[in-house]
């Protein structure tokens, strides 16, 4: 997978809503969000169903979480965040800089049964391949739909 070590999805038992997660992703994670140098993201938080990986300067985060829904579906979210301090263009020139956050994420919402892990992986990789297109990203930033 693009964010590191492949981890099998959670397994729901037929008679229980309990979700069992066998392992965590590799620590640290590494990502190259700007095409330049890789950013190391050591795990700073592990809550069992959610981990946060963060750069040493605290400006880049990778958040991975799993949440079970009411219909026994499991939503897995991977989110990349980047903070910057910038001047607010609507404020006076003496106003302090403000922190703004950019985030990009993907959610895989899968039912407890009906799809194999291989089918889910193929579908997710198909979407990632579609998104790996500068022209499409520019069109989306231009609010095309």
pLDDT over 90, % of the chain: 70
Contact 72, 12 (CB under 8 A): yes
Task: Check whether residue 35 and residue 89 sit in a common domain.
Answer: yes
Residue 89 included in any domain:
yes
pLDDT band at 99; cut points 50, 70, 90: very high
Helix, strand, or coil (residue 30)? strand
CA dist 113 and 22 (Å) reads 18
Task: Check whether residue 60 and residue 129 sit in a common domain.
Answer: no
Task: Check whether residue 140 and residue 69 sit in a common domain.
Answer: no
pTM score, two decimals? Answer: 0.78
Residue 4 included in any domain:
no
Task: Check whether residue 72 and residue 121 sit in a common domain.
Answer: no
Strand partners, 12: 19
Task: Check whether residue 59 and residue 120 sit in a common domain.
Answer: no
Range of the domain at 83: 11-110
DSSP element (H, E) containing 54: strand 50-54
């Amino acid at each position: 997978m693009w964010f590191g070590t492949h981890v099998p999805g959670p397994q729901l038992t037929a008679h229980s809503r309990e979700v069992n997660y066998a392992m965590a992703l590799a620590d640290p994670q590494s990502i190259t969000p700007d095409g330049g140098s890789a950013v190391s993201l050591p795990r700073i938080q592990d809550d069992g169903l959610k981990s946060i990986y963060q750069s040493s300067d605290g400006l880049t985060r990778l958040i991975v979480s799993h949440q079970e829904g009411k219909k026994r579906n499991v939503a897995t979210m991977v989110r990349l965040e980047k903070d910057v301090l910038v001047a607010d263009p609507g404020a006076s020139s003496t106003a302090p800089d403000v922190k703004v956050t950019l985030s990009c994420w993907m959610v895989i919402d899968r039912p407890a049964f009906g799809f194999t892990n291989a089918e889910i992986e193929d579908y997710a990789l198909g979407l990632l391949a579609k998104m790996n297109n500068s022209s499409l990203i520019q069109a989306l930033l231009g609010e095309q739909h």
